[in-house]
Chain A
Amino acid sequence: MTEVITKQEREEAFAMFYGMAASIGELAEPAPEMTDEERVERAKEVFLKGIDNNVAVQLDACVHCGACAQACQFFLGTEDPKYTPIHKLDLLKKVYKRELSPMSWLNKFLTPDITADDLRDQVELVYDSCTMCGRCNMVCPSAINIGDMVALNRSAMAAAGLAPAELRYMRDGQEADGTIFGADEDLFNFRIQDIEQKLGFEIPIDKKGADVLLMTSGLDIHLFADATGGAIETLHHMGVDFTLASKTPGYEGANFGSLSGYDATKKKLTKDSTAAIEELGVKTVIVPECGHSYPALRFGAAEAVGRDVKFEVMTVSEYFGRAVMDGRLKLEKKDHPTPIALHDPCKVGRWGGVFDEPRAILKACGYDLHETESNKQYNFCCGGGAGNFLLPSADKLKRVGYRIKMGEIEATGAEELVVSCGSCRMNFEVGKVKAGDSMPVESLAAIIAAHLPQKDKAEGDRA
C-alpha cells in the first residue's frame, strides 16, 4: 500500500476537522419561523403521507412489551425509560389512531391530538437518542420496523422546522451546492491530485463509459484519504476500467437530506447523483466508506427517479469482498500476530446485507477475526450514526453508545478495529479521545490496499 496520508497528517486534519464540526451549529441559518399550528399541521401531513398498510399493521401489532428497550444502547446505557425505542413512535401512533386507523371514529374521542410541545419533546428522542440503527427491529416479537418509523419522525420534525441546527446546516449546504463540510470541487480535485501524486499513476476523472464509478465523501476528502486512496489503488491494481467524477453529484456519496429528515433534499441529491451517473454511463457505482450513502443510493435511486436505474450500486466492502470471494482480487496473506475486530456499520450491514464480504477480505489478508458478541444483523451501532456524530446535544448519549460498543470489542481480545464507514470511524476516534482509549481504528479499504500483492508479482500473475 502506498501511504496517501501519514498518521501525523491525519491527526492534524482530525483536530482541525473536529473543531470545525463542533461549531457548525452556530453557522446554521435560524430555524424557519412558523406558528405552533403550522408546525403541527406540517408534521401531521408527513406522518399521514408516510402511514401505509405496512406501517398501520405494524403499529397495530405492538403490545408494549418493552423488549425493544433491551436492544437499544441508549436505553441500556442510561436506563432512562424515555429512550425506549417504541416510545419514540408515540406521536406517530397518536396520529395514526386519530386519523387513519379503522377505529379512528372511536379513537378521535379517546386520543388527544399532538401538540407543538409534543413535537419539541420529540426532537431529542428521534435525533439525539436514536441513530435509526434498527437493532430494536431484531428483538421485537412483532418485528416492528421501529428504525424506519423513527426516520419518518425525523421527516416530520424537519417539516415542522425542528431539525437540529447542525443537521439543518449540513442539509442547507448540500441543498445549495451539493457539498458537505465545504468539500467542493476545488478541494476534491486537490485531494485527488494529492493522492495521484502519492500513488504514482493517473487517476481517471469523468471517463465516460468506464465500467466503474468510485464515489467519495466530504469526510474522506477532509480526513480519511486513506479510504479513498485505498479503493483507488485497489481498482488500479485489479485493472478495472474505473473513473471518478469531478462534479459534486458524481463524487459526493453522503446525503444529509436523508439524515436530517428533509425528504425533498434527499430526493434531489439522489436524483442529481443518478443523472450524473447515468450520464457517465458506468455499469457499477462504488459508494464510499460512508454507511448511509449505500442505502441512500442503492435503494433510494430508483425511488427518487420513479423508475429502475441503469447501474448497479455496491459499497466498498461489498465490491472488493466479492472480488476476493470469486477470485478476481488476490490479497497477500500476512502474519498478523494480534486479533482484529470488525464493526458492521448499521446502514451497510443490518440495512444493507453486506456481512460476508468484509469477513472474506479479512480472512484473505490473514487476520484472526474475533467477532463481537453482537455481530452482523445484531450488531451494536457505533453510537453516533445517522448524523448524530455532529450533534453536541447528543454528546453524553454518544459516549454511552460508544462505551457499550467498545465494551463488546474489548471483550473479544482484539487489539485493532476495522470499519468500513467514515462516520463510524469518526465516532470511534472521538470516543477514544474522550474515553482515553487507544485501540487503532482502520479503514477496510486501506487494509485491502495494504495487502495488495507486490506489483511485480501481481503483474506476473496476470501474465
Chain B
Amino acid sequence: MSLLDFARGPALQWAAVIFVIGMLWRTVGLLLMLRSRPLSKDRKSGLAGAGVKTMFSRFLLPKVFAKRVGFQFLLGWVWHVGFVLTLFFFQVHVLFFKGVFGFSWPALPNAVVLPVAAVTLGILLILLVRRMTNPMLRYISNFNDYSSVIVTLLPFVTGFATFTHIPALAYETLLALHFLSVALLLVWFPFSKLFHVITVLPSRYILGVKFWRRGVEA
C-alpha cells in the first residue's frame, strides 16, 4: 500500500470514525449533565426568543467594543468564512465530497476560492503570531491553543503545496500529506477547543436567556 493509498484509505476512514464518535460522545455527555432551574420570577417573557437572538447578535460586535476588539473580531469572521468556503466550495473538494456522500453542490470558481484560501491561511498565521507575541494572549494560551491553530493550518499549507505542485516532493506525496493533515484535524477536533463549533451557539443561548430573565439584552 502506497502512502497515498494509506492516507486516503484507512487513515482518513479511521480519522472520520474517531471524529464522529468523539463529537457524539462529547455532545451527548454535555446534554446528559444536569441543569439548574431558577425559581424566581422572570422580569421579562419570551426567554427562548431572547436566547436565539443572542445566538445571532453575538456575530456582531457591540459598537462600544469596536476600538479594542474590532480587529480580532474581523479576523475571526474572515477566517471562519474563508475556512467554510475553502472546505465546501473548492471544486476538488466538492468532487471529493461527491465521492463520499454520492451527491454534490455547485462549486465556486478557483479564481475565487484560491484567494479566499490564501487570505484564510494568512489570517491563521497572523493569529498564531499574535498569540505568540501579545503578552496577554501568550499568558492565557496553552498547548490546546497553539496545537489547534497549527493543526488547522496544516491542511491549508499542504493543500496549497499540492495544488501548486511544489517541486520539492512528488505530487502523490503532497496529496498524501494533505489527506494526512486532514485526518489529523479530524482526530484532533473532538478533543480540543475546536469543539467550540458545537458549543458556541448553545453557550450564547444560555447567556441570552439568563440575562433576558433579568431584562437585559445580552
Q: Chain A interface (Cβ within 8 Å of chain B)?
A: 51-54, 56-58, 60-67, 69-71, 75, 79, 81-82, 84, 86-87, 100-103, 106, 137-145, 148, 295, 298-303, 306-309, 349-354, 373-374, 377-378
Contacts and interface: CB of A to CB of B under 8 A. Distances in A.
B30 A53 contact: yes
Interface string B176-218: 0000000000000001010110011011101110110011111
A57 B34 CA distance: 11
A56 B141 CA distance: 20
A309 B204 CA distance: 29
Contact of B136 (A62, A69, A102, A300): A69
B141 A64 contact: yes
Interface stretch (B8-16, B40-48, B105-113, B163-171): B40-48
A353 B44 contact: yes
A139 B140 CA distance: 17
A170 to B, nearest CB: 25
A86 B218 CA distance: 18
B140 A145 contact: no
Interface residues of B, number: 57
Given A52-B34, A53-B35, A81 B199 contact: no
B40 A302 contact: yes
B196 A61 contact: yes
9 contacts: A52-B35, A53-B30, A58-B203, A71-B68, A87-B140, A143-B206, A145-B206, A353-B214, A377-B211
A374 B36 CA distance: 32
Given A299-B38, A353-B44, A374-B64, A57 B26 contact: no
A54 B28 CA distance: 14
B30 A60 contact: yes
B140 A303 contact: no
Contacts of A81: 135-136, 138-140
A424 to B, nearest CB: 18
Contacts of A64: 137, 140-142, 144-145, 193
B30 A62 contact: no
B69 interface: yes
A62 B191 CA distance: 14
Nearest to B36: A52
Given A103-B29, A142-B203, A144-B207, 15 more contacts: A52-B34, A53-B30, A53-B33, A61-B199, A61-B202, A63-B193, A70-B65, A84-B140, A87-B140, A141-B73, A141-B76, A143-B203, A145-B210, A303-B40, A350-B211
